[in-house]
Amino acid sequence: MTFAIKAGIRDPRAAQFDFPAQKTMYGGKRIAVGDMIYLFASENDGGSGLVARGVVTAAEPTPKRAGVERQTPRVSIRVQRTALAKQALGRAELKPFVDWGDGQPQTELNFKFYRQATDKIVGLSDAAAAFLEGCF
């Protein structure tokens, strides 16, 4: 399976990234070592959207906190960068894609990342992964 993460990324050119205790949605909790992941630098933290692609080299579920009834699953991952994005793709480029039922990969990305703007790891459809690959 292919995944994407939107998180604070200070140096998109780093060879390796550590993302501790990241929120997961839309199948993101299934991320595992060896999975491909697209990295989006969160605009909430001054980022610009899609910055890199990588491979997950470590993945560990974060234990649930005691006494908290409803919790979003979280996972800590380490990613080895394999490529830098050559094309801009962020909130501004995805904003026009709001017809949630149109089946376009851009709409899927807009829905998963920007409908609820929190940072997170998400699972991607094959169509969305193929679309993102065109940015490299």
How confident is the model over 14-61, as pLDDT tens digits? 999 999 999 999 999 999 999 999 999 999 899 999 999 999 999 999
28 — phi, psi (to 5°)? -60, -25
Domain count, the chain: 1
Query: Token digits for 101?
Result: 């039922």
| CA gap 93, 89 in Å, rounded | 6
Whether residue 135 is predicted with pLDDT greater than 90 in this model: the reply is yes
The confidence score (pLDDT) of residue 116 equals 84
Range of the domain at 113: 2-133
- Residues facing residue 24 across a β-bridge: 121
pLDDT confidence bin for 67, thresholds 50/70/90: confident
Query: Token digits for 1?
Result: 């399976």
Angle at 111 between CA 123 and CA 107, to 5 degrees: 95
For position 48, which CATH number holds?
3.10.590
pLDDT confidence bin for 69, thresholds 50/70/90: confident
pTM score = 0.94
